[in-house]
Structure 1
Amino acid sequence: MSHNVLITGGSGYLGGTLLARMGGANLPPYGKLYASARTAEQADSLRQYGAQPLSFNLKDETEIWASIVENEITVVYYMIDAISYDPPLFFIKALAEVKRRTGQTVHFLHTTGAKLFSSHAGAPTDRPLLDTDPKLYDIQMSQRAKLGPIQEAVNNSCAVIEQAERHGVRSYIFVPCIVYGKSEGFGEPIATLRQIVNVVQAAKALKRVYRVDPDRPTWPVCHVVDNTGVYIELLRKILVNGNPSHGKNGYYLASSGSIAWDDLYDAVGVALAKRDIVSDEKVETANDQILEKMGAALGRPKEFVPLQLGGWCTFTARRAEEELGWKPIFNPQHILETVDAEVERILFHMT
């Protein structure tokens, strides 16, 4: 029996690019491709990728159950909400029922984010934190985040692993980082909730680029095409029954390496000054008053500003290359080389 695949969040930045690249990925044969849709317009757009649209309320377990079980879906890309506990559990329980009825191995791919493995979440930053570390689940369980929503997301990531194991579902924790580049999907053209967009948005409002950390922290980066490549290679391994690492050993960071926030700030400052968006390209350190103003520009309390565009993350990718044969196209410095085009695209879609 072949796998039926569901992609949630297909109208988003990451999900849209994944859908757009599925057809040309030369994947092994599988059954039907489904994608979630909230509107009739989205449903029409999804069909161009060969995906059959499904509509369901994420808060309604009965609707999710029906969509998964009736269509015998065995692989779910969950790319919607890293914080809420109930929807992932609904999908996991429905997948378990498909397994019971069909005997098929079932898979839940949960998308989180690098913030869960950073200083913001209480993760260790004094050394590289490998996604292949056999103790990574235990490290996550012991983490204590500075902010409630991040702690919820960490707890939820661990709960996905626990509940999937309990129900006989294979789980995978997929971790995007600073993702950049043009989306290839029909929906969000830029990563609207991701860090580089926040840097530009705050700088535009305050007429200057500000750093939020006194030291020189680093963060992993990945082009959206390379990020999508990990999603696809993981599915390829599943489709050939390749037994990719899962559960407590199933963390997958999509990243070609890390850059320093200060270098990113400098490059954004140059790009914005060139367009007269900021007073000059100089980057300054934000004080409490500036953080307050940045928070207002981002629609967040000032305590959330460092979370949005700073912090230490030493999370390091190993598993995708070692187990899936994934090779990034773009090195980490590429984001700095293409910041001008990135800023141009962000400004265009912000206006």
Structure 2
Amino acid sequence: MLHNVLITGGSGYLGGTLLARMGAANLPPYGKLYASARTTAQADSLRQYGAQPLSFNLKDEAEIWASVVENKITVVYYLVDAISYGPPLFFIKALAEVKKRTGQTVHFLHTTGAKLFSSHAGAPTDRPLLDTDPRLYDIQKSQRSKLSLLQEAVNSSCAVTEQAEQHDVRSYIFVPCIVYGKSEGFGEPIATLRQIYKIVQAAKALKRVYRVDPDHPTWPVCHVVDNASLYIELLRKILIDGNPSHGKNGYYLASSGSIAWDDLYSAAGSALAKRGVVSSGEVEMADDQIMEEMGAALGAPKEFVPLQLGGRCTFTARRAGEELGWKPIYQPQHILETVDAEVGWILRHLEG
């Protein structure tokens, strides 16, 4: 029996590129492709990718149950909320019912983020933290963050793994990082909630680019096309019953490597100065007052500014290359080469 696949978040930045790339990916045969839609316009747009739109309320377990069970969906790509635990559990329970009725192996892919594996979340940063580390689940389970929202996301990630195991659902924790480049989908062309956007948003308001860390931390990066290709390669392995690592060994970091925040700040400062948005491309260290002002510009408490614009993350990708044969097109330094264009897109979005 062929797998039926559901992608949530197909109108978003990551999901849009995934959908746009699936048609040409030469995937093994599968049944129907479904994608979640909140509006009639989204539903119409999804059909161009060969996806059948489904509408459901993520907070309504009965609606999720009906969508998954009645359509015999066996693979769910969850790309919409890394924090809340309720909806993932609803999907896991529904997938378990599909397995019970059909006997098929069922899969739940949960999209989180590199922040859950960073200094912000209490992850170890004194050494490379490999996504193939057999102790990674236990490491994350023991993490404690000073930010309650981030701790909730860490808890949800662990709970997905635990509940999927309990319900005999194969789970995968997919981890995007600093993702850049234009989405190829019909929805968000740029990552409005991601780091480069926030750097530009804050700098535009304060007329200066500020760094938020006293040292010189690094963070993993990935082009949006490479991020989508990893989603696809994981699906390819599932469709051929290739038994990709899952559960407590199912962490997949989408990253070609890391860059220094300072290099990203400098590149953004130069691009903004060239356009007259900031008075100088030089990057200064933010003090407490500046943090307050940056928070106001970003619509967040100042305690959340370092979370959005900095931190140390030594999370390192190994599993995708070793198990799936994933090879990113773009190397880490490529982000610095394209910051100028990225800043231009962001400014047009902010001014629009």
Give, as a single letter, the amino acid of the residue that structure 1 aligns with 2:107: H
Partner of 1:245: 245
Instruction: State the number of aligned residues.
Output: 351
The answer to whether 1:11 aligns with 2:11 is yes
The alignment partner of 1:338 has SS state of helix
Partner of 2:82: 82
Partner of 2:97: 97
C-alpha distance in 1 between matches for 2:278 and 2:227: 31
Q: How does 1:194-205 map to 2 (within 5 A)?
A: 194-205=194-205
CA RMSD of aligned residues (A): 0.3
C-alpha distance in 2 between matches for 1:310 and 1:133: 24
Identical residues among aligned pairs (%): 85
C-alpha distance in 2 between matches for 1:260 and 1:159: 32
Give, as a single letter, the amino acid of the residue that structure 2 aligns with 1:6: L
Q: TM-score, normalised by structure 1?
A: 1.00
Task: Give per-residue Cα distances to partners, 1:276-316, cap 9 Å, x unaligned.
Answer: 00011010000000000000000000000000010000000
Give, as a single letter, the amino acid of the residue that structure 1 aligns with 2:137: Y
C-alpha distance in 2 between matches for 1:192 and 1:272: 17
Partner of 2:291: 291
Q: Offset of 1:120 from its aligned partner?
A: 0.1
Partner of 1:23: 23
Q: Offset of 1:350 from its aligned partner?
A: 1.4
Partner of 2:38: 38
Q: Offset of 1:348 from its aligned partner?
A: 1.0
C-alpha distance in 1 between matches for 2:339 and 2:110: 29
Partner of 1:227: 227
Q: TM-score, normalised by structure 2?
A: 0.99
C-alpha distance in 1 between matches for 2:112 and 2:146: 17
Partner of 2:150: 150
C-alpha distance in 2 between matches for 1:52 and 1:328: 29
C-alpha distance in 1 between matches for 2:41 and 2:3: 27
Q: How does 1:1-351 map to 2 (within 5 A)?
A: 1-351=1-351
C-alpha distance in 1 between matches for 2:311 and 2:274: 27
Give, as a single letter, the amino acid of the residue that structure 2 aligns with 1:175: V
The alignment partner of 2:24 has SS state of coil
Give, as a single letter, the amino acid of the residue that structure 1 aligns with 2:9: G
Q: Offset of 1:146 from its aligned partner?
A: 1.7
C-alpha distance in 2 between matches for 1:172 and 1:294: 35
The alignment partner of 2:144 has SS state of coil
Structure 1: 4+ residue segments shifted above 4 A: none
The alignment partner of 1:49 has SS state of coil
The alignment partner of 1:221 has SS state of strand
The alignment partner of 1:150 has SS state of helix
Give, as a single letter, the amino acid of the residue that structure 2 aligns with 1:50: G
The alignment partner of 1:110 has SS state of strand
Gapped runs of 5+ residues in structure 2?
Answer: none
Q: Offset of 1:230 from its aligned partner?
A: 0.6
C-alpha distance in 2 between matches for 1:122 and 1:84: 19
C-alpha distance in 1 between matches for 2:147 and 2:347: 29
C-alpha distance in 2 between matches for 1:141 and 1:73: 30
Give, as a single letter, the amino acid of the residue that structure 1 aligns with 2:329: I
The alignment partner of 2:108 has SS state of strand
